Structure 1
Amino acid sequence: MGYMKYTQFVYLLFAGFFIYDGITKVNDPNNNPWLSFIIAGMAIFMFFFRRRFLKKMSDHNKKQ
């Protein structure tokens, strides 16, 4: 389970990429940036969800 401490940060990398993608699409009138921003929001949500889940599992393992 040691790798799970680091995999949560992959979601932040995805969020950063999709925020960048959304910003570049805002400047182009032919593209729609909202999907990129929605995916970035979901990635940020998943980062905090995985972080909380890992903390719960860690606390659960300490009690046993």
Structure 2
Amino acid sequence: MKTFKFFQYAYLVFAVLFLYDAIANWGDSKAYMSLLLGATAVFMFFFKQRFSKKIENKDRK
């Protein structure tokens, strides 16, 4: 179960990397793709976190 928590925070690391890439390539069309991928990574972080809490609560009952 601890590996799932590691992957949750890996999504945040990827979001920061994509944000940096978007800023570095701001004038290019590649920046929009990086912003989209960064937003997706943030969404996946919160989705995985919520899903993990649901599984923990289910196991306790």
TM range (shorter): over 0.9
Give TM-score, length-normalised by structure 1: 0.88
Name structure 2 gaps, 5 residues minimum.
none
Structure 1 or 2: more helix by fraction: 2
Alignment root-mean-square deviation, CA: 0.8
**4+ aligned runs moved over 3 Å, structure 1:** none
Identity of aligned residues (%): 38
Bigger Rg, which one: 1
String of CA shifts for 1:11-55, please: whole Å, max 9, x gaps: 0000000000000011xx4x2110000000000000000000000
Alpha-carbon distance between aligned partners in 1 of 2:37 and 2:5, rounded to the nearest angstrom: 22
Residue 21 of structure 2 is matched in structure 1 by 21
- Give the count of matched residue pairs: 60
